[in-house]
């Protein structure tokens, strides 16, 4: 499977990028770092700068249908910047329109709100997004991982870095199940 990891040029929570990336690679899949600009993305450990990572593709220049699934890492600034980028929002929306699975952790559901794909879905996130998600028509739950198959494509969401192990295991299972259909 070819799996897109969508991030802004800065602000992605490093562990929410690297742990899922490693899980995808270990499972024999191809992760692809997609960003809104070419070059490198600056990751953070909460509010402190961490490592940088090379961008493989620029959103708006690579079609969403060239991927089997999408992972949206969190970080506070990352999804806030993504939801302000028209190409990033369209890229995310297209995964849902095509019925392809999506996984989002921590603050990443902010981008889902902007893509208008959470209405009628049950999901989890960092607790501060609860009101935003409810206002967008979602049902928010405080669970380690939530899989929602209401609407086109399955959505896997998780709350925080402490949930990464369960998040990675769950989205890999869901992605494999969807690929076998």
Alpha-carbon distance 151 to 134, whole Å? Answer: 17
Distance CA 110, CA 46 (A): 17
Instruction: Catalytic residue, from 29, 46, 87, 107: name it.
Output: 107
CA distance 26 to 20: 10
- Residues 20, 171 contacting (CB under 8 angstroms): yes
What single-letter DSSP state applies at residue 53? E
**Running DSSP on this structure, what letter comes out for residue 39?**
S
Cα 165 to Cα 9: distance, rounded to the nearest angstrom: 25
107 catalytically annotated: yes
What amino acid positions are annotated as catalytic residues?
Answer: 107
């Amino acid at each position: 499977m070819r799996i897109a990891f969508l991030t802004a040029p800065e602000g992605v929570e490093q562990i929410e990028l690297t742990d899922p990336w490693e899980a995808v690679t270990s499972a024999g899949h191809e992760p692809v770092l997609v960003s809104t600009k070419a070059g490198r993305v600056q990751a953070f450990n909460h509010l402190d700068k961490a490592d940088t990572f090379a961008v493989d593709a620029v959103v708006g220049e690579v079609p969403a249908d060239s991927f089997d699934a999408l992972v949206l890492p969190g970080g506070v600034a990352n999804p806030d910047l993504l939801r302000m980028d028209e190409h990033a929002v369209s890229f995310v929306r297209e995964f849902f329109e095509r019925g392809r699975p999506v996984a989002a952790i921590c603050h990443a559901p902010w981008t889902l709100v902007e893509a208008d794909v959470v209405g009628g879905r049950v999901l989890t996130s960092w607790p501060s997004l609860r009101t935003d998600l409810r206002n967008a028509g979602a049902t928010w739950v405080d669970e380690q991982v939530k899989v929602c198959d209401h609407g086109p494509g399955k959505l896997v969401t998780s709350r925080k870095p402490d949930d990464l192990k369960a998040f990675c295991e769950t989205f890999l299972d869901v992605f494999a199940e969807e690929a076998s259909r």
